[in-house]
């Protein structure tokens, strides 16, 4: 019998695919969420238990770990792309990517759970150019220093039918006559959400992945401007992409940050683009070599 899995951050885009794969592999899944917005989902997924609460609350987290038990595992998918602007070290980034990881690691140790799978991001680095990358890097550092049986995943941008990246540019293309774009020459190596989810779930059954960190990427490198053109074509609205010089990109990001809601592109997002989001030259395609998964190209994404 396979073990129960606590899927922290499991209500989002990647979480949906990881949940489906966990069930396929025979696991039962517990998903905490701050807002149980669609309780009807609960009835449709008998092997998934949704629990409302904040994983930042230590007693709540300890209760969740007790339900999973020492033979179970924890997968942490919590991540955010935006902080409140104007903070020296983004408080929200620190809370989601560092403080929560520390609490998780302590709670797992106290509850006797050994196996921990951590979702980071390609480019995560305590010395990186953006708050996002630095906070993700700090989180990784805590995981590497822990005595748990950890595995870290570092994907490039993740695509899928319900992603927040290609779909964002598809929506913009359907509304705007041309697309002014900052960081147009930044490079990405988009990886399929189904590939990422399958690798994470297989890792639970592969003891030699313990203590390892895996950069995940698709088969092809794309410039951001080409990704945006692809998204626009896919939406049926081919658009001219207008690359912005650095100063105009900064101004655009500042304006986005002043608008209510999540900015389309923040200055911190722009800082992340200073480092190409691709596999280091000569590195292995670990999806294939370690996990035996064929890396799907972005072009496989159905319209």
Ligand X SMILES: NC(=O)c1ccc[n+]([C@@H]2O[C@H](COP(=O)([O-])OP(=O)(O)OC[C@H]3O[C@@H](n4cnc5c(N)ncnc54)[C@H](OP(=O)(O)O)[C@@H]3O)[C@@H](O)[C@H]2O)c1
Q: Which three-class secondary structure string do you get for 233-257?
A: HHCCCCCEEEECCHHHHHHHHHHHH
Nearest to 115 by CA among 44, 58, 167, 65: 65
The smaller minimum CB distance to ligand X, of residues 72 and 155, is found at: 155
Q: How many residues bind ligand X (CB under 6 A)?
A: 25
The smaller minimum CB distance to ligand X, of residues 100 and 131, is found at: 100
Residue 150 binds ligand X, judged by CB under 6 A = no
Task: List the x/- string, 164-203, binding to ligand X by CB under 6 A.
Answer: xx--------------------------------------
Distance (Å, rounded) from C-alpha 185 to C-alpha 300?
23
Token representation of residue 53: 């609460």
Nearest to 72 by CA among 19, 20, 115: 115
Q: Which of 4, 5, 6, 15 binds ligand X (CB under 6 A)?
A: 15
Site for ligand X in 64-103 (CB under 6 A): 77-80, 95-96, 100
Q: Counting every residue, how long is the chain? A: 303
| Distance (Å) of CA 129 to CA 214, 251, 263 | 21, 18, 19
Q: Which of 113, 121, 228, 301 binds ligand X (CB under 6 A)?
A: 121
171: which residues sit within 8 A by CB, 6+ positions away?
Answer: 235
Residue 13 binds ligand X, judged by CB under 6 A = yes
Q: Which of 64, 74, 157, 278 binds ligand X (CB under 6 A)?
A: 157
Q: Which of 72, 128, 155, 263 binds ligand X (CB under 6 A)?
A: 155
Where do the H-state alpha helices sit in the chain?
A: 13-24, 40-44, 58-68, 91-94, 100-111, 131-145, 166-175, 193-204, 224-234, 246-258, 267-272, 286-289
Q: How far is the CB of 91 from ligand X (least distance, A)?
A: 10
**Percent composition of the chain: helix, strand, coil (DSSP 3-state, to 5):** 40, 15, 40
Residue 53 binds ligand X, judged by CB under 6 A = no
The smaller minimum CB distance to ligand X, of residues 177 and 280, is found at: 280
The smaller minimum CB distance to ligand X, of residues 118 and 239, is found at: 118
Q: How far is the CB of 3 from ligand X (least distance, A)?
A: 21
Q: Which of 6, 14, 231, 270 binds ligand X (CB under 6 A)?
A: 14
Q: How far is the CB of 247 from ligand X (least distance, A)?
A: 27
Cβ atoms of residues 7 and 75 within 8 Å: yes
Distance (Å, rounded) from C-alpha 1 to C-alpha 146?
27
Q: Binding residues for ligand X, per CB under 6 A?
A: 9-15, 33-35, 55, 77-80, 95-96, 100, 119, 121, 155, 157-158, 164-165
């Amino acid at each position: 019998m396979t073990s129960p899995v606590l899927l922290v951050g499991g209500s989002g885009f990647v979480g949906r695919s990881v949940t489906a794969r966990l069930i396929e592999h025979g696991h039962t899944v517990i998903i905490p969420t701050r807002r149980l917005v669609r309780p009807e989902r609960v009835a449709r997924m008998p092997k998934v238990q949704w629990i409302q609460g904040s994983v930042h609350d230590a007693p709540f987290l300890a209760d969740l770990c007790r339900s999973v038990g020492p033979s179970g595992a924890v997968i942490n998918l919590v991540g955010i792309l935006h902080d409140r602007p104007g903070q020296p070290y983004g408080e929200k980034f620190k809370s989601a990517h560092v403080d929560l990881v520390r609490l998780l690691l302590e709670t797992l140790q106290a509850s006797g759970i050994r196996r921990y799978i951590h979702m980071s991001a390609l480019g995560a680095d305590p010395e990186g150019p953006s708050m996002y990358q630095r906070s993700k890097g700090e989180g990784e550092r805590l995981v590497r220093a822990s005595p748990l049986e950890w595995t870290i995943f570092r994907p490039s941008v993740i695509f899928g039918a319900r992603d927040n990246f290609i779909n964002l540019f598809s929506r913009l293309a359907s509304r705007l006559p041309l697309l002014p774009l900052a960081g147009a020459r930044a490079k990405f190596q988009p990886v399929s959400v189904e590939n990422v989810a399958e690798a994470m779930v297989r890792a639970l059954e592969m003891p030699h992945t313990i203590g390892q960190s895996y950069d995940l990427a698709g088969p092809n490198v794309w410039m951001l401007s080409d990704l945006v053109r692809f998204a626009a074509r896919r939406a049926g609205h081919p658009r001219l992409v207008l690359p912005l010089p650095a100063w105009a990109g900064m101004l655009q990001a500042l304006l986005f940050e002043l608008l209510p809601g999540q900015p389309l592109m923040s200055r911190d997002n722009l800082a992340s683009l200073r480092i190409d989001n691709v596999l280091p030259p000569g590195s292995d395609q670990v999806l294939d070599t370690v996990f035996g998964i064929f890396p799907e190209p972005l072009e496989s994404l159905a319209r």
